[in-house]
Copies of this chain bind each other. A is one copy, B any other.
């Protein structure tokens, strides 16, 4: 399984990015990583690697870097030899099965859009975020790729998300929910109302649980949640912010209260952070493109990068995209939906 890794993307690249690649090939003997970036900056971080790992680490040299501040579309045009552009090209040329980047999210998405190699029946790719709930993980999309989706796009997200939940979470009949501001069918804006109709008229009718609200996510009201990219992006960042705030407040309150058992409490809180910290997870797949693409948080450290690489290899070996295409093809509503609802 070959994965291209944007070695220059991330707040502290390339150090922790390369370290994550080393950890990934050490953890899984089937994984090969192509480090895409400036050879001179990458090589020093490979100096101490054992020979077995080293032979599954390649470097694809390129001279440019898209920064976090770059405008995505401009960056792609002006930096054709950037690690993001080159990673997508390797995927398009089938030289790798997957790509992973912790760089400028907008540029990563724009790179995929520009190649236009989407899966059949997919009009727009969407970024899928995995969120913890009381009933196991749920997948929410889109969380930032598509700020102006049509109802048909949200419907396709529902199909892709439920295929994901079925094969990655192993949930046999994933429940699909529509993010909205009330439980009643007629609630929300036109996008929500029209998407509601689309699901209710589709073969996913039985799996569609209707509207879900913000407070229902963690309760586990649905296994798949669809929403526009603006709302989804706000949601994942609010989750991050409330989590961070609450852990700080709980830590302060307990630190000021407990005495002998404070060390144990601190350890317990550390476990919670390890388990739920939204920013340290392995990354979010961009579903709907032909190939696997995992987008990581800019602050990703070596562990997050390692996890993202292993997850990318796993999705590729699960043949997730083939399963998504099969599910989309089985849907009679799609010819209507994709004609521009």
Are B182 and A106 in contact (CB-based, < 8 A)? yes
CB distance from A133 to the nearest CB of B (A): 8
The closest CB in chain B to the CB of A257 belongs to B268
A interface with B by C-beta (< 8 Å): 69, 71, 106, 132-134, 144, 147-148, 179, 181-182, 184, 186, 188-189, 213-219, 229-231, 233-250, 253-254, 256-261, 264-265, 267-269, 271-272, 275-276
Chain A facing B: main interface SS: helix
Question: How far, in whole Å, are A230 and B180 apart by their CA atoms in the complex?
Answer: 8
- Among the listed B218, B248, B265, B272, which residue makes an inter-chain contact with A242, where contact means beta carbons less than 8 Å apart? B218
> What residues of B have a CB within 8 angstroms of the CB of A267 in the complex?
257
CB within 8 Å for A184 and B69 given contacts A231-B231, A259-B261, A264-B258: yes
CA distance A38 to B69 in the complex (A): 60
A245 and B218: CB pair below 8 A? Answer: yes
| Complex interface: chain B residues within 8 A of A241 (CB) | 214-219
Query: 5 new A-B pairs (CB below 8 Å) besides A218-B244, A253-B271, A258-B268?
Result: A214-B240, A216-B241, A231-B231, A238-B238, A249-B276
Q: Does B257 contact A260, Cβ atoms closer than 8 Å?
A: no
A144 touching B181 in the complex, CB below 8 Å, given contacts A218-B245, A239-B242, A241-B214: yes
CB–CB B186/A230 < 8 A: no
Contacts of A216 in B (CB 8 A): 237, 241
- Asked whether B238 lies within 8 Å of A217 as measured between CB atoms, the reply is yes
A215-B241, A265-B265 given; A248·B189 CB < 8 A:
no
| Most chain B beta carbons < 10 A, residue from A147, A242, A249 | A242
Q: B214 and A234: CB pair below 8 A? A: yes
**CA of A165 to CA of B194 in the docked complex: distance in angstroms?**
38
Q: How far is the CA of A234 from the CA of B179 in the complex (A)?
A: 8
Q: Which residues of B contact A133 (CB under 8 A)?
A: 245
Given known A250-B272, A276-B249, contact A214–B233 (CB-CB < 8 A): yes
